[in-house]
Chain A
Amino acid sequence: MTSPAPSVVPAPPPKPNALLEYLLRLGDDRLILGHRLSEWCGHGPILEEDIALANVSLDLLGQATILLRMAGEVEGQGRTEDALAYFREATQFRNSQLVELPKGDFAFTIARQFLFDVYDVVLLEALTTSSNTELAAIAAKSLKEARYHVRHSGEWMIKLGDGTEESHRRVQTALDSLWLYTSELFATDAVEDELVRAGVAPDLAGLKPKWEALVRDVLQRATLTASNDVPRPASMRGGRSGAHTEHLGHLLAEMQIVARSHPGATW
Chain B
Amino acid sequence: MSSTVINQNVVGAQSETLPADNQWPLWEVFTQSEQGAPHEHAGSLHAVDAEQALQNARDVYSRRGGVISLWVIPSGAITASSPSESGPFFDPGADKAYRHPQFYKVPRGVRGV
Chain A positions near chain B (C-beta within 8 angstroms): 46-49, 51-52, 55, 148, 151-152, 155, 159
Contacts and interface: CB of A to CB of B under 8 A. Distances in A.
Contact of B48 (A55, A148, A159): A159
A155 B58 CA distance: 14
Given A51-B59, A51-B60, A55-B59, A46 B24 contact: yes
Contacts, number: 26
A47 B59 CA distance: 11
Contacts of B63: 55
A49 B56 CA distance: 7
Contact of A46 (B46, B51, B55, B58): B46
A48 B48 contact: no
Nearest to A53: B59
B39 to A, nearest CB: 20
B47 interface: yes
26 contacts: A46-B24, A46-B46, A47-B46, A48-B45, A48-B46, A48-B47, A48-B56, A48-B59, A48-B60, A49-B56, A51-B56, A51-B59, A51-B60, A52-B55, A52-B56, A52-B59, A55-B59, A55-B63, A148-B58, A151-B55, A152-B55, A155-B51, A155-B52, A155-B55, A159-B48, A159-B52
Contacts of A55: 59, 63
Given A46-B24, A152-B55, 7 more contacts: A48-B47, A48-B56, A48-B60, A52-B59, A55-B63, A151-B55, A159-B48
Interface string B35-63: 00000000001111001100110111001
A58 to B, nearest CB: 9
Nearest to B24: A46
A37 to B, nearest CB: 13
Interface in B55-75: 55-56, 58-60, 63
